[in-house]
Structures are given as C-alpha cells and as structure tokens.
Amino acid sequence: MKRVRRFVQAALVSIATITTITSGGGDRAHAKGWPTPAAGPSASGDPELVFTFDDGPSPSTTPKVLDILAKHHIKAVFFLVGEMAGSGNQKVPAIIARILADGHVIANHTMTHKDLCRKKTSDEAAAKDLDDGKATIERVAGVHTFWFRAPYGVRCDRLDGMLAERHITHFHWDLDPQEWKHNDAKKAFDYVTKNLAKMTGRNVLLMHDIKKATVIALPQILDWIDAENARREAAHKRPIRIVSAPELAAERIPADLRAWAADAIPTRGGLGARLASILP
Ligand SMILES: [Zn+2]
C-alpha cells in the first residue's frame, strides 16, 4: 500500500510540476529573475501562505521544526541537501521518514549546495550537483522528488537549460526573512509578520530548518497568524490561509485529468480530500 501511495504521489507531483509555478508577472529585488508570485496567484482569493524549509535535514533542529508544524497542522515543502540527507548520521533516515509520514513534500536542493550559476563551476559539475542531490535524497527517502530549488535562488541560462532537459520547474519564494544569514529570531519574526500583515495573493515563505532562529521564530509566527486571523474574523476581513504542500500539488493537476480522476475515483468527500489522503 505504501508503495502504491508513493507511486501515486510521485505521479501527481510529476504532473503538477509540468503545469506549474511559472505563471506570474513582476520582479522583486531578491527574486533573481524567477517569476513572482512564486507559486502562482491565490486560489481562494484570500491571502495565502506556503511554508518551505531549505538546507536540511538537521538531526538537532529539523525534529523541532516538525513538532511545531504538527502542532499547527501545517504541511510544508522541505528542500533537502543531498549531503545532509546522506550524511551517514544515524538519526537522519528516521527524520526523513517522519517528514514524509507527517504529510510534507520532500524536494531537491542539490547535493552540496553549490551555486549552479557560478562561472568557475563547470557545466558538468553543476549538472552533477543537481543530479547527485536528487539521487541521494531519493535513495534515503524512498520516494521520487520533482520539485527543485536552486541554492541562493540563482538563475542563469545554464540552469534554465539543465532544468528544461530534466523537465523540472524551479520553485522559488516570495518572502525571505534572511535568518540563514543573521540567525536572529526577532528579526525573522518582525520581517515575516510585517509582510503577512499587508500580504495579498499567494506568497511562498522561505525558512531554514537547520537554523536555531527558525526554531524560535516559527512558533511565534504561527501564534501571530492565529491571533491575526481571530482579529480578522471579528472584523469580517479575509483570513491568512495556509496552503498545504499536497494541496499545492493537487491543484496543479490539469483540469481534464482532474475530471477523469473525479469519474474514476468514487468519492464522498470530494476529489480534493481524496487526493490529500493519498499523498503521504
Ligand atoms: Zn539553501
């Protein structure tokens, strides 16, 4: 059953990546040429937030991030680094298994966190870092990965070519609290809540599950969202809606396939719920 589940998830996310993230206009200083909004427009019309975590897994901090997300019923995307996933640390395989069991989506963030657009890096070395990361993460996790995020969010013709060859769509972000740089929880909290307060449309938040600042700031951010949504409800304003990673995958299934699946899967709870239930 587990294998079937994994296969279906792989198929769904695969289909999803073909259709995906490349819609959107404008550019932001930190976006480095990737389209914004990073995950398309809001599906609900509410301000929407997608949680993503990069650079892990860390044996010490990732389990804490997972505890916090579980408490708030949030399903995120984890962009793992191959070296971390295949580090040989005995705790890591269980942490990766828990990421999947908790319903998050695992994705590729290269093998060694190389800047794939750096001129000094050869084409072969860049391709190897991308491919080795994917292979290592998949070996440890036992699932296919389809989503990819370039270290440092870089973009260049070489990377575009490599992604096109592999039918991979890049998964960028909209909000970067930079805790990877300053490791300051207060700064991260202030940045995120300031942006969430005025947020419209769908925003992808980038955080790092290997940073202590993330472990401290994340529950504060989630408590702030709960309080903010209570305020908004009282004022009859649109709430901040957190979009789960499986939901994001499912909504990207082409409409005709969705219609086919609706016929093929006898449903009581609606196709969305069915899809969510077969994703890990
Ligand atoms: Zn990174």
Q: pLDDT tens, 8-28?
A: 555 554 444 433 333 333 333
- Check residue 264 and give its pLDDT: 66
How many CB atoms sit inside 10 A of residue 224's CB? 17
Mean pLDDT of 125-141: 97
DSSP annotation of 107: E
Task: Give distance in angstroms: CA of 137 to centre of ligand 1.
Answer: 15
Mean pLDDT of 242-247: 91
Q: What's at 93, amino acid-wise?
A: P
Q: Where does the pLDDT of residue 116 fall: very low under 50, low under 70, confident under 90, or very high at 90 and above?
A: very high
- Check residue 249 and give its pLDDT: 81
Task: Give distance in angstroms: CA of 102 to centre of ligand 1.
Answer: 22
Task: Give distance in angstroms: CA of 80 to centre of ligand 1.
Answer: 9
Domain of 146 in residue numbering reads as: 2-278
Catalytic residue among 54, 55, 184, 209: 54
Task: Give distance in angstroms: CA of 237 to centre of ligand 1.
Answer: 35
Cα angle 128, 158, 202 (rounded to 5 degrees) comes to: 95
- 4-8, 147-151, 184-188: least confidently modelled range: 4-8
Q: Active site includes 54?
A: yes
Written as six digits, the tokens of 246 are 């499986």
Catalytic residue among 55, 104, 208, 209: 208
Tell me the per-residue pLDDT of 49-92, one tens digit each, with 9 for 90 and over.
999 999 999 999 999 999 999 999 999 999 999 999 999 999 99
Average per-residue pLDDT in the chain? 86
DSSP secondary structure letters along 214-250: HHHHHHHHHHHHHHHHHHHHHTT-PPPEEPPHHHHHH
Mean pLDDT of 107-111: 97
Task: Give distance in angstroms: CA of 23 to centre of ligand 1.
Answer: 23
118 vs 108, 176, 274, CA distance in Å? 19, 22, 43
Q: How many domains does the chain have?
A: 1
Task: Give distance in angstroms: CA of 57 to centre of ligand 1.
Answer: 11
Written as six digits, the tokens of 123 are 């084409």
- Distance (Å, whole) CA 62 – CA 160: 30
For CA atoms 193, 198, 202, 204, the dihedral sign is negative
Question: What is the domain-level CATH number for residue 117?
Answer: 3.20.20.370
Q: Where does the pLDDT of residue 240 fall: very low under 50, low under 70, confident under 90, or very high at 90 and above?
A: very high
Check: CB of residue 181 under 8 Å from CB of residue 188.
no
Task: Give distance in angstroms: CA of 67 to centre of ligand 1.
Answer: 22
3-state secondary structure of 273: helix
Q: Active site includes 208?
A: yes
